[in-house]
């Protein structure tokens, strides 16, 4: 099966090797006999409904976010409609912030957001940096951990009733106070976890692939397990670093 990924503004939003997330998705898809076709989406791009099975947007500094925010917001109608019709999405750090309603940066400028995720972000004075560990439950009754690295000044505030990606076990999370990190709407998730995220969290990569396949077939498959010894070790190393910081909540 061919799965189509829309990579949003890859030339601007690729801090901390976030592009590596695409490489992981492509390799894990290929190992199972699927082809991942990655199509860059930038300024002036257009979205045809049903064309993309998965969207990805990485992180960037305030300057890059300022440059692309209006063009990204112009894709908002298409992105919201695509996710509403079952496309999957992963947004990291700066991309996560811009998929909310707005981001007020360090200079006080209000950058427009896509409005896909029920949240807004305001830059704070102190950066929140370090390894982070989450407990997530993307499938009912199945709790798993996500490990990564966060480095953000933004304080992201979820709307009342919005679903976070996970509960913070160690680290700062969305705002350094709520005890939650990220946000989820259907098959779309946003998070501050860098590193890149997917090499050390293979289960999340497979969850995203299954959701992308479900966009094509109507049902998320049980993917054939892979030999993930190295990935599991990378996860444990990252998780141990986060735990050494101590729980904050």
Rounded to a whole number, what is the distance in angstroms from the first to the last CA of the chain? 43
The length of the chain, given as a count of residues: 249
Which candidate in 93, 152, 183, 235 is catalytic? 93
- DSSP line for 159-224: PTTPBPSEEEEES-TTTSSSSEE-EEETTEEEE--BS-SGGG-HHHHHHHHHHHHHHHHSS---PP
Which candidate in 120, 194, 215, 235 is catalytic? 194
Beta bridge partners of 121: 103, 156
What is the rounded CA–CA span in Å between residue 198 and residue 196?
6
Beta bridge partners of 88: 54
Active site includes 34? no
Active site includes 120? no
What is the rounded CA–CA span in Å between residue 134 and residue 169?
5
- Catalogue the active-site residues: 93, 194
């Amino acid at each position: 099966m061919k799965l189509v990924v829309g990579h949003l503004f890859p030339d601007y939003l690729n801090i901390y090797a976030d592009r590596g997330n695409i490489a992981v998705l492509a390799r894990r898809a290929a190992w199972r006999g699927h082809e991942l076709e990655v199509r860059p989406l930038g300024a002036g791009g257009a979205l045809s409904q049903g064309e993309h099975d998965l969207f990805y947007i990485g992180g960037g500094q305030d300057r890059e976010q300022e440059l692309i925010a209006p063009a990204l917001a112009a894709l908002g109608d298409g992105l919201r409609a695509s996710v509403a019709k079952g496309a999957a999405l992963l947004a990291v750090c700066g991309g996560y912030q811009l998929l909310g309603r707005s981001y007020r940066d360090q200079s006080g400028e209000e950058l427009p957001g896509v409005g896909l995720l029920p949240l807004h972000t305001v830059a704070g004075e102190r950066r929140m940096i370090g390894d982070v560990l989450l407990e997530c439950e993307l499938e009912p009754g199945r709790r798993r951990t996500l490990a990564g690295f966060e480095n953000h000044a933004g304080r992201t505030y979820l709307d009342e009733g919005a679903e976070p990606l996970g509960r913070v076990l160690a680290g700062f999370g969305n705002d350094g106070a709520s005890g939650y990190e990220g946000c989820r709407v259907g098959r779309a998730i946003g998070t501050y976890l860098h590193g890149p995220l997917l090499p050390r969290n293979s289960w999340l990569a497979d969850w995203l692939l299954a959701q992308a396949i479900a966009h094509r077939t109507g049902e998320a498959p049980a993917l054939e397990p892979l030999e993930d010894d190295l990935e599991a070790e990378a996860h444990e190393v990252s998780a141990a670093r986060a735990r050494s910081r101590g729980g904050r909540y």
